[in-house]
Structure 1
Amino acid sequence: MSQGRRLSLIEAGTNVVVGYLLALATQLAVFPAVGVSVTLLDNLRISTAFVAVSLVRSYLLRRIFNRLGTPQHAGEDR
């Protein structure tokens, strides 16, 4: 069963929002604990960078695994 485009868009959007909030919350908790002091604006910028890298990584891995799962590659690892 494949996922439709609308649901894929909703999943991707949710993933980005949750990733951004998680990155920001983690920084707000961890940075002071290890003595890193940055402004809220800097935290927002840093978490945006983390989420952008995560989004690219997630997309590339999904494409790789989709390619590995195509019929031309199916059964190669069996």
Structure 2
Amino acid sequence: MNQSRLMSLVEAITNVIVGYGVAVVTQILIFPVFGLQTTLGQNLAMGGIFTIVSLFRSFLLRRLFESRRVAGQRR
């Protein structure tokens, strides 16, 4: 079964949205342990930056693995 580029993107976006929430909550809980004081706005902004990077990473890795899978079927 092939996964379309659109469905790869939908999967990556869903994964990253969930990851964004986890990252922000983790930052709020962990940063003070290391003496880092940030505002909620700063945590949301950092989470947003990491989310964008993660979205591109997830999508590109998914496409890489899908292309390798399809290439393996052609042999």
Do the two structures share a fold, i.e. TM-score over 0.5?
yes
Percent identity, aligned pairs only? 47
Q: Which is helix-richer, 1 or 2? A: 2
Equivalent position of 2:70 in the other structure? 70
* Structure 2 residues without counterparts, runs of 5 or longer: none
Work out whether 1:39 is the aligned partner of 2:11. no
Query: CA distance change for structure 1 residues 63 and 19 in 2, over 3 Å: closer, same or farther?
Result: same
Aligned residues: 73
Map residues 1-78 of structure 1 onto 2, 5 A cutoff: 1-3=1-3, 11-71=11-71, 74=72
- Give the structure-2-normalised TM-score: 0.77
* Structure 1 residues without counterparts, runs of 5 or longer: none
**SS of 2:35 mapped into structure 1:** coil
Structure 1 residue 7: Cα displacement: 6.1
Report the aligned-residue RMSD.
Answer: 2.3
Q: Is the 8 A contact 2:23 2:47 kept in 1?
A: yes
Q: Which has the larger radius of gyration?
A: 1
Higher relative contact order, structure no. (Cα contacts within 8 Å, ≥ 6 residues apart): 2
Runs in 1 of length 4+ with deviation above 2 angstroms? Answer: 1-14
